[in-house]
Amino acid sequence: MKLLLCAAALLCALPALADAGKTWTTSGTPEFAAGKLDGVAVLSTGELQLAPQMDKVDGLKATFVWDAAAGDDGSVYVATGSPGAVYRVRGGRAELVVQTKEEHVLSVLPMPDGTVLAGTAPNGIILRINRRGEAETFADLPDSYVWDMALGPNQQIYAATGPEGRLLQLDRAGHVTERLKVKQRNLMCVAVDKDDNVYTGTDTDGYVYRLPREGKATVIYDAEENEVHCLAITPEGVVYAGTAQGRPNQQQSGGQNPSSSQSGSLPAPANMQGAPSAPNSVYRITPGQGAMRVVRFDRMFVLSLGLVGERLLIGTGPGGRLFALDPDGVSRILAQLDSPHLTAIGVAPDGQAVIGASNAGALWSLKKDLSEKGTYVSKPFDADYLAHWGRMKWQMRAGMGRDVRLKLRTGNSREPDDTWSDWSDWASRADGEPLDVPMGRFAQFSAELSTHPRMESPALVAVEVSYKQTNRRPSIDDIAVNGVSVLKAEGRSAGRPQQGPPPSPPGRNGRRPSDRMIAWKAGDPNHDDLTFDLYYRGLDETEWLAIKKDITDPNLTWDTSRVPDGRYQLKLVASDRPDRGPKEALEDVRVSFPLLIDNSPPTADQLRAERQPDGSCVITGRAVDSFSAIKQVQVSENSEDWLPVFPDDGILDSPQEEFTYTTGVLKPGEHVFVFTVTDSNDNTGSGKVIVEVAGPGK
C-alpha cells in the first residue's frame, strides 16, 4: 500500500459556505498536521489520537547527535558532534562516557564484550571505549568519515565511509579489509541481516547496494532521490531506506548532493539550510521481490530510521517531526520536537527508543505506553475580515474513560500574541456549544485528548467552527451598454472579488436594433452572493421604472422598442440580501451617464437627379435622423450591389448629412436608385429616385 503524507506542504482549512454564515472546518491529515502537537499523533487516516509518552533526556551537551545504538546491557549509546563524544542513556538521563579529541563522533557500535566502537570525523579514526570509559585507537582508516557501522552475525564489523566510497570490514583486532569500492563519494549507512548480507546506501545516485557474504555486490534499488541516508532491516530481511535529497534530481552524473559532506566540511545535516526543495521518501525493499515507496515527505529530509517491533520510526527535518509506519500501512506523526533535525534513533531491548536531534542537540525517550493526556493547537484561521464566532462542534470516537474537549481564542494579528483574547472555557459537547469569545478576524482552537491508563486513545476526526463576517457594503465597479462603459472609472473596489463578466463588445449577433446589451461588474468583500435591481428613467422624469428585479446573472438584454426615443439614465442596485437577510443587508447604487435610446429609422429625402451632358446623372439628397449620427449611406441601382455614398463634408458625424452621388453613363430606359441610411444605433431607412433615359430618336 502506497501512502502519501504531505506533512510539510500543508493546506490551511478552507471556509465552506452556509446559510447563516460560514464554517471553518478542520479535517484530514494535511489540515491536522499544520497544527502543533503535544502528546498527540496525526494519523494518515485523517484523525488525531494520543501518542506514546515522550520524555526529554537531560545531561547532553552537544550540537549534533549523529547516531544511537543499543547495547546488550539495555543502555543506548549516543554519538555526538561539537564536541565529538559518546554518551550512554539509561534511567532517563544521558551520562558522558568519553569526550574524544575528534570534532565529531559520527557512528557508535556497542560490542558484545561490553566495549563500544566510535567512528569519527574528519580523521576517520575508529576508537574502542572500554567499560571504564577509556578510549584507544581501534583502527586508523584511510578515509575521513566513518558515517555508520554495523555488526554482522559473526561479529564482523562493517564501516560505511567517505569521501572515497568504501565499505570496510574489520575483525575484532581492528584489521581492515576493503569489501566494496563504489563510484559514489560517500556510503552514508550500513546494515546487516541475519544471513550476513550487507546493505549500504550512497550519497549520490541514490543507490542501495547488497553485498552477500560471498560474491559480487549488486544494486538492489535505484531511488528517485539522489541520496539514501539511512537504513533499517527487519528480522525477516525486509530493508527500509530513507532518502535525504536536497534539490530536484538532475541527470545523475556523480554530482554532489548539497546535503552530503565533502572532505574538510561538517557532515550532514550541519550543511542543511532550510527545507529541501525536493520531496524525500521511505522505501520498502524486499530482496528478490522489488521495492515500493511507503511514505513520501514534501520539504523534509529523512534522517534516521529505527524499528520498534514491527513499527518503523522515521526521524525527519527540518521541523523536528517523528513519524511512525505501522505494519498495516497506517503512518502517523508521533511527535513534534523542539530541535529541527531528528538525526538518530536507537531502540533498547525493552522496546523504548531514544531519539537524537541536531542543530540544537537534544535527546528524548519514547515510551511504549500511550500518554494519558495530550493537546493539539490548530494553525490560526483567517476569516478574511472581522467576524462573530458561533458554535464549535466536532466528530470523534470516544467512550467511557476517554474524552475530547476543545476551546477557542480570537485575535486580529496573523500570529497569536498578547493582543489575542484569552482561551474560552472548555467545550465538552461534541454536537455543538456556543463560545464566549470576542469578535476577531483570526481564530485558533485547542483540543485536549485524554484516557485512563491502559485504555485506548480517543480519536478526533473533524472540527467545525461557525462564524459570520461583519457585513461590508458590496460594490458596483462598472456598467456597460453594448460594450461601452457608462460609469466613470473611480477604482472604488480595487482588489475585491468581482462578480460578472467583462462588458461584451458591441455587435449585432442577431439581436434587434432595439435591444440594449447591459452588463456590469460587482463584488462583495464578504464573498456574499449578490442580487441586482435595474431601473431607468428619462432625463425629464422623476420616477425610476424597473427594468427587472432580483437579477442573479450580471447581464441582461433590455428591449427598448416600447420606450420613446430620448435620453435616459440607468440605475443599478446591488444587494447582499441573499446571504444577509433584510435587517443586515447592505446595498450599493450606481447611476449611469445619460444614454440615447433611438429606435426610429433615419430617412433619405430631398432626392433630386440632374442629367449631365456626358450621359451620367448627379443625384443629391439628405440623410436625416431625429437623435443619432448617421454612420452609413449606400446606393443600389436596379437592385445591383450596394455601393458606398460619401457625405459632402467628407465625415459622417451628425444626424443630418448632405450627400451627392454621380452615376456612370446611363443606358436608355428606367433606372431606380435606392438609397439606404443607417444611424449609429443600427436603425435603417431608405428612399428612392427614378431616372428615365430616352432612347435614340425620342
Q: What is the pLDDT of residues 104-122, one digit of tens each?
A: 999 999 999 999 999 999 9
The whole-number pLDDT of residue 215 equals 87
Separation CA 572–CA 520 (nearest Å)? 9
Please, what sign has the CA dihedral across residues 660, 662, 668, 674?
A: negative
CA neighbor of 516 nearest in space, from 561, 546, 551: 561
Q: Give pLDDT, residue 502.
A: 43
Of the residues 370, 387, 402, the one at which a domain ends = 370
List of residues 6+ apart from 27 with CB closer than 8 A:
13, 46, 395, 461, 462, 463
- pLDDT at position 268 is 53
Residue 276: CB atoms within 10 Å: 25
Whether residue 538 is found in the same domain as residue 404: no
Whether 196 and 322 share a structural domain:
yes
The domain containing residue 301 runs over which residues?
Answer: 59-370
47 part of a folded domain: no
Q: Are residues 564 and 642 in the same domain?
A: no
Amino acid (1-letter code) at residue 387: A
| pLDDT of amino acid 5 | 34
Residues 133 and 262 in one domain: yes
* Coil vs helix vs strand at 238: coil
> Are 228 and 364 part of one and the same domain?
yes
What was the pLDDT predicted at 41? 97
Task: State whether 85 and 212 are in the same domain.
Answer: yes
Quote the number of domains for the chain.
Answer: 4
The whole-angstrom separation of Cα 610 and Cα 488 is 51
Three-class SS state of 578: helix
Query: Angle at CA 179, nearest 5°, toward 178 and 182?
Result: 95
One domain, residues 322 and 180? yes
416 in Cβ contact with 423 (< 8 Å)? no
- Within this chain, do residues 252 and 359 fall inside the same structural domain, yes or no? yes
Q: Is residue 49 part of a domain?
A: no
Residue ranges, the chain, pLDDT below 50: 1-19, 250-265, 267, 489-498, 500-508
* Within a domain: 642: yes
Residues in the chain: 698
Domain contains 304: yes
Residues 291 and 349 in one domain: yes
Nearest to 162, CA basis, from 34, 83, 262: 262
Residue 449 covered by a domain: yes
Integer Cα distance of 148 and 344 in angstroms? 11
- CA gap 581, 344 in Å, rounded: 60
Say what the pTM is: 0.73
> Which pLDDT belongs to residue 208?
97
Residue 272: predicted pLDDT: 58
**What is the reported pLDDT for 511?**
67
Contact 335, 37 (CB under 8 A): yes
User: Is residue 533 situated within a structural domain?
Assistant: yes
Q: In terms of domains, do 645 and 519 share one? A: no
* Phi, psi (deg, nearest 5) at residue 146: -100, 85
Of 540, 565, 597, which one is at a domain's C-terminal end?
Answer: 597
Beta-bridge partner residues of 403: 450
Q: What per-residue confidence (pLDDT) applies to 271? A: 59
Find, among 287, 125, 278, 261, the residue nearest to 199 by Cα: 287
The CATH number for 638's domain is 2.60.40.650
- Evaluate whether residue 2 is within a structural domain: no
487-497 pLDDT per residue, tens: 864 444 433 44
**What is the model's pLDDT at position 698?**
53
CB 574 within 8 A of CB 530: yes
Given 412, 444, 469, the domain boundary residue is: 469
Say if 418 falls within a structural domain: yes
Query: What pLDDT does 277 receive?
Result: 86
